[in-house]
Amino acid sequence: MFALEFPPINELIRWRDLFTSFNKISIIACLAAFVSMLLFFLASRKDPLVAPTGSRNLAERSVEFIERDIVMQTMGKDGMGWTPFLLSLFLFIYFCNLPGIIPILQMPATARMAIPLFLALVVWVIYNAVGFRHNGFKYIGAMVWPKSVPVGMRPLVGAIEFLSNIVLRPFSLAVRLFANMLAGHMLLVTFAFLSNAMFTAQTKQMFLRPMGVLPLFMLIFLTAFEVLVGFLQAYIFTILTAVFINSARHIEH
Amino acid sequence: MHTVAVVMTREGRLHVSLSGTPISGDTTDEPMVAMASTEATAEVAAKDPSPIAPEVKELVWGGGAFIVLFVVMRVYLFPRVRKGMDARYNKIRGSHESATALRSSARADVTTYEGQLAGVRSEAKTVIDAARQTLEAERTAAVAKVNASIAVDRASAMSANEAARVAASGDVRDAVAAVSTHAAELASGHRPDASKVQGIVDSLISGGAR
């Protein structure tokens, strides 16, 4: 019998502390923040009046991406003040996702619940604060008694809206990011283990070894796919944040 | 026949097994070792936290890193990059506007030049027309003058010609009269009246000329 043993999930996603209360996820989170800051620091040192290249080009493209494809699409020109927050959010999530395919690191920090949960809570606090700031207590009133729906439907829609805004949104925001990145990480690990096991199988079934190429190809494909997923999840989290903030500002709509 | 079995243990350990095949001696022991290992770690694994539950240290480090990033970005980095972008955009916009102004100015200059060119052309046309008229008048006058001169010369030549013709005609008549007189004298033996012969010759020549 040929047996393949996968390690427990905790061995794949939990890391021993490097020193007290500091593990691999913490390193990746700190690196994500550092790389983002380094990118913008290097960009800010270059002459802005000449055509941007290198780090300056990357930084400006990311600013324009946030402004044009997220802020303008969801909040309009009034939302330009949110660009630094949304930019920080996008870069942080993206650089936390990216280590999932970087050798040695090989773990997206967002495949652990802590960072998605923290970011979702920050977003939750912010959009509710924005809602109260722009609408006062009408924010809650318009949420639980929406005037844009027929009177008979208002209790039901109001309850759904309240539940959605206050409970489900941060939860779904965090779980979407966490689950996608965890699933991607597990897929990569699975195909890597499978490929390795088939290449090194101690068996007389010689067809098994060359068949190890199949999971290897799948591993390569999924690695490329994870680049897209990492970017996409950062984009989705950021654009949903912008949508939530904007909907909190205009709760009557 | 081959059978594949996948078994998930309580602590999340996954076993995949392929049976019913001729195998090497080494691999037969592996599942047993693995099972033994599973049994041994079952107690420890049961104490493991949920893989979904967030860890406080990750929450603190991740949150701290994000907050630091946001503050630095909001206060220092983003404004500098944005300011640079705005400066370049303004420079490009300024250059664009100055280029537009320059183009408008050039178009105005071209319009002025074309106006001036049209004026010069009109003036040239006037001058050319005047010159043409002057030339035409001068040519007409010269032609008239030449024609008059030719007419005078022609009249003079015609009168000279007429005089010569008359003179020649008189000479011819005289000669004919002399010859006729001499011929008549030879034929009749006496000399005819010269005036009569002259009259006859004149009438014959005049009649022949008719």
Span A120-166, pLDDT tens digits: 999 999 999 999 999 888 888 888 888 888 888 888 998 998 898 88
pLDDT score at A97: 95
Query: How far is the first Cα of chain B from the last one, in angstroms, to the nearest whole number?
Result: 153
Domain ranges of chain B: 1-53, 167-209
Contacts with A87 from chain B: Cβ below 8 Å: 73, 78
Distance (Å, whole) CA A95 – CA A28: 8
Q: Across residues B108-112, what is the average pLDDT?
A: 95
Span of A195-199, B17-21, B60-64, B75-79 with lowest mean pLDDT: B17-21
| Contact criterion met (CB < 8 Å) for B55 and A112 | yes
Q: Which uninterrupted H or E stretch holds B3?
A: strand B3-8
Whole-number pLDDT of residue A250:
84
> CB–CB of A5 and B48 under 8 A?
no
**Distance in Å, alpha carbon of A32 to nearest chain B alpha carbon:** 8
Return the residue of A nearest to B70 by Cα. A88
Cβ of B13 within 8 Å of Cβ of A26? The answer is no
Cα separation, A127 vs A120, whole angstroms: 10
Closest by Cβ to A2, choosing from B14, B18, B56: B18
Dmax (CA) of chain A: 74
Length of chain B: 210
Which stretch of A131-145, A196-210, B35-49, B170-184 has the lowest confidence by average pLDDT?
B35-49
Q: Which residues of A touch B85 (CB under 8 A)?
A: 48, 60, 63
The pLDDT confidence band at residue B31, using thresholds 50, 70 and 90, is very low
Predicted ipTM of the assembly: 0.91
B61 vs A88: CB contact, 8 Å cut-off?
Answer: no
Report helix, strand or coil for A5: strand
Counting one residue from A and one from B, how many pairs have CB atoms under 8 Å apart? 191
Of A117, A109, A104, A83, nearest in space to A31 by CA: A109
The pLDDT of residue B7: 52
Q: At B23, is the secondary structure helix, strand, or coil?
A: strand
Q: Using a pLDDT cut of 90, give the percent of chain A over it.
A: 57
Say what the pLDDT of residue A202 is. Answer: 77
pLDDT at B210 over 80: no
Query: Nearest Cα to A48, choosing from B94, B99, B89, B97?
Result: B89
| Angstrom distances, CA of residue A159 to CA of A124, A134, A137, A156, B185 | 18, 22, 17, 5, 171
pLDDT digits (tens, 9 = 90+) for B173-206: 888 888 988 888 898 888 888 888 888 888 888 8
Q: Which residue has the tokens 């539940």?
A: A163
Using CB atoms, which residue from B17, B74, B91 is nearest to A1?
B17
Spatial strand order of the sheet with A2-6 comes to A2-6, B14-19, B3-8
Q: Which residues of B touch A26 (CB under 8 A)?
A: 57-58, 61-62
Interchain pair B84, A48: CB under 8 A? yes
Is the pLDDT score of B17 beyond 80? no
Between B48-57, B91-100, B125-134, the lowest mean confidence (pLDDT) is in B48-57
CB contact under 8 A, A84 and B54: no
User: Which residues from chain B sit within 8 angstroms of residue A6, using beta carbons?
Assistant: 13-16
Q: Is the pLDDT of residue B28 over 50?
A: no
* Pair A209, A41: CB distance under 8 Å: no
Question: B19 by DSSP, 3-state: which?
Answer: strand
> Quick check: A245 contacting B, CB < 8 Å?
no
User: Residue B27's pLDDT band (boundaries 50, 70, 90)?
Assistant: very low
Chain A, nearest residue to B5 by Cα: A3
In A, residues 33-52, which contact B (CB 8 Å cutoff)? 33, 36-37, 40-41, 43-44, 46, 48-50, 52
pLDDT for position B45: 52
User: Considering only CA atoms, which of B145, B143, B205 is closest in space to residue B180?
Assistant: B205
Q: What is the mean pLDDT of residues A38-48?
A: 92
Q: Name which of B28, B66, B87 is nearest A48 (Cβ-Cβ).
A: B87
* Cα A184 from Cα A181, distance rounded (Å): 5
B9: nearest CA partner in chain A? A8
Cross-chain residue pair A49–B87, CB shorter than 8 Å: yes
Is the sign of the CA dihedral A4, A225, A99, A122 positive or negative? negative
DSSP assignment of B72-86 equals: HIIIIIHHHHHHHHH
Q: Does A57 touch chain B (CB under 8 A)?
A: no
pLDDT at residue A253 in the model: 62
Stated pTM of the model: 0.70
- What pLDDT was estimated at residue A150? 87
Arithmetic mean of pLDDT, B22-41: 42
Q: Do A115 and B62 touch (CB under 8 A)?
A: yes
At A177, which helix (H) or strand (E)? Answer: helix A169-199
- Higher-confidence residue of B207 and B38: namely B207
CA distance B16 to B20: 14
**Which is more confident, A15 or B26?**
A15
pLDDT for position B34: 42
| pLDDT (0 to 100) of residue A1 | 47
Nearest chain A residue to B3, by CA: A1
Residue A225: the pLDDT is: 94
Strands A2-6 and B3-8, sheet pairing: unpaired
Q: Check: CB of residue A4 under 8 Å from CB of residue A11.
A: no
> Position of tokens 């060359």?
A210
Nearest to A84 by CA among B75, B114, B40: B75
Please, what is the average pLDDT of chain B? Answer: 81
CA distance B33 to chain A (A): 11
Average pLDDT over every residue of B2-25? 47
Question: Hey, is the C-beta of A81 within 8 angstroms of any chain B C-beta?
Answer: no
Q: Which of B10, B81, B93, B95 would best serve as a mutation to test chain A binding (most A beta carbons within 10 A)? A: B81
Cα torsion angle, A157, A162, A164, A165, sign = positive
- Which residues in chain A (196-225) have CB-CB distances under 8 A to chain B? 201-205
